[in-house]
Amino acid sequence: MFEREPQRIHAAPGDRALASEHIGSTSVPGLAAKPIIDIMLTLADCANEPACVPDLEATGYVLRIREPDGTGDSPFDGTIPLREFKGSEIDLNPHVWSSGSPEIDRHCAFHDWLQSHPYDRIL
């Protein structure tokens, strides 16, 4: 299921999509995981909603989380722009971050660490 989704996600914003990565528990072989696929999509500016939200929604994704959310009542710190969508055909969550966001490196480092450190993966 993961293999077909980056193509769909990249096709939506077209050349505005800078990168995509398979993240979360399903991206680490041997790690117990819920059957939910998380994909990180990097755009120049995910807070520029007219440049990304309509295209992703037209592809079948539904915007579920907007950070900062403007209420101040968020489980996140609300300072780093994030748009999170939900897939309509399969249980998939595209996480859309802006280029340069520290969350990109954090997610990739965690993923890479678990793939290369079996003991920590077991823990």
CATH number, domain containing residue 107 = 3.30.460.10
Identify the residue with better confidence: 4 or 98.
98
Residue 61's φ and ψ, nearest 5 degrees, are -95, 150
pLDDT at 62: 92
Range of the domain at 52: 2-122
Mean pLDDT of 86-115: 90
pLDDT at 76: 55
What torsion do the CA atoms of 47, 90, 30, 105 make, to the nearest 10 degrees?
-10
Read off the pTM.
0.83
- Percent of all residues in the chain with a pLDDT value above 90, rounded to a whole number: 33
Q: How many structural domains comprise the chain?
A: 1
pLDDT at 67 over 60: yes
pLDDT at 117: 94
SS3 91: coil
Work out the burial of residue 19: count CB atoms within 10 Å of its CB; fewer than 13 is exposed, 13-18 middle, 19 or more buried: middle
